[in-house]
């Protein structure tokens, strides 16, 4: 399977703390994307990192990619209760087909 | 843009009935995806269209499932006959269809088969 797998499956932190989620995948990729899903809603794109990039930032989000280890991490700094959601990584190895992992459920306690 | 629009948002149907889920992708997007999400299996890619042509349907679970894209602005996913194990959230998503483009998701169709 080309699916990314997130780790941990669940994470509970206090507001203000940083949250780190990891994604591992099996085959070579062109791009890796991170998505957020609030309960009962669709997935929302957060950030895309290409295979020739090592790190990307977007606001409080920082994504790293290590293609030698076939892994990526998503760091959310200074977390807020509104960050409570499930986070998924999506990997592509076949053009536009993206496969999603099972997600990390983040709970940020106020 | 209104984003990817799916209907119905919720459907409860009896086993054996036909279910049709509908999707309107974002205008100008030429790739369309159908995903299914369950607690047990997570997000599964069912089928992927590019320029209205099915490119890969290897994720379609059984012959009871079929998908069409008669034009660039409309797609359907049909289940006939439906079974309780088909209960899931079905997402439609679209993208510009170029390598590395963001996939935009609809809000999903929540299907319960009783």
A74-101 pLDDT per residue, tens: 999 999 999 999 999 998 866 667 888 8
pLDDT at A1 over 60: no
pLDDT over 80 (residue B81): yes
Q: What is the mean pLDDT of chain B?
A: 93
Q: Is B80 helix (H, G, I), strand (E, B) or coil?
A: coil
Question: At residue A80, what are phi and psi to the nearest 5 degrees?
Answer: -125, 160
Close Cβ partners of A59 (under 8 Å, ≥ 6 residues apart): none
Best residue of A36, A48, A96, A97 to probe chain B, by most B CBs closer than 10 Å: A96
Secondary structure of residue A84 in the 3-state scheme = coil
By the 8 A CB rule, do B10 and B113 touch? no
Instruction: Establish whether the linkage from the previous residue to B8 is cis, with ω within 30° of 0.
Output: yes
pLDDT digits (tens, 9 = 90+) for B10-65: 999 999 999 999 999 999 999 999 999 998 888 999 999 999 999 989 899 889 99
Nearest CA in chain B to A99: B45
Best mutation target, B55, B103, B105, B109, to test chain A (most A CBs within 10 A): B103
Give tens-digit pLDDT for A49-62: 999 999 999 999 99
Please report which confidence band the pLDDT of residue B97 belongs to, taking 50, 70 and 90 as the band edges.
confident
């Amino acid at each position: 399977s080309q699916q990314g797998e997130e780790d941990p499956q669940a994470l509970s932190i206090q507001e203000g703390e940083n949250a780190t989620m990891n994604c591992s995948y099996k085959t070579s990729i062109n791009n890796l994307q991170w998505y957020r899903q609030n309960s009962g809603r669709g997935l929302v794109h957060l950030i895309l990192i290409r295979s020739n990039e090592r790190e990307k930032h977007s606001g409080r989000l920082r994504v790293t990619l290590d293609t030698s280890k076939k892994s990526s991490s998503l760091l959310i700094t200074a977390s807020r209760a509104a960050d409570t959601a499930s986070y998924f990584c999506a990997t592509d190895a076949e053009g536009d087909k993206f496969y999603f992992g099972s997600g990390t459920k983040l709970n940020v306690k106020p | 843009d209104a984003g990817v629009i799916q209907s119905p948002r919720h459907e409860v149907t009896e086993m054996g009935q036909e279910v049709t889920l509908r999707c309107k992708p974002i205008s100008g997007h030429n790739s369309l995806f159908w995903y299914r999400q369950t607690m047990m299996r997570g997000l599964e890619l069912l089928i992927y269209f590019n320029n209205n042509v099915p490119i890969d349907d290897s994720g379609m679970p059984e012959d009871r499932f079929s998908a069409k894209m008669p034009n660039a602005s409309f797609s359907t996913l049909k289940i006939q006959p439906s079974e309780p194990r088909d209960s899931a959230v079905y997402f439609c998503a679209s993208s510009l269809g170029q390598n590395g483009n963001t996939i935009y998701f609809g809000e999903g169709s929540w299907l319960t088969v009783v």
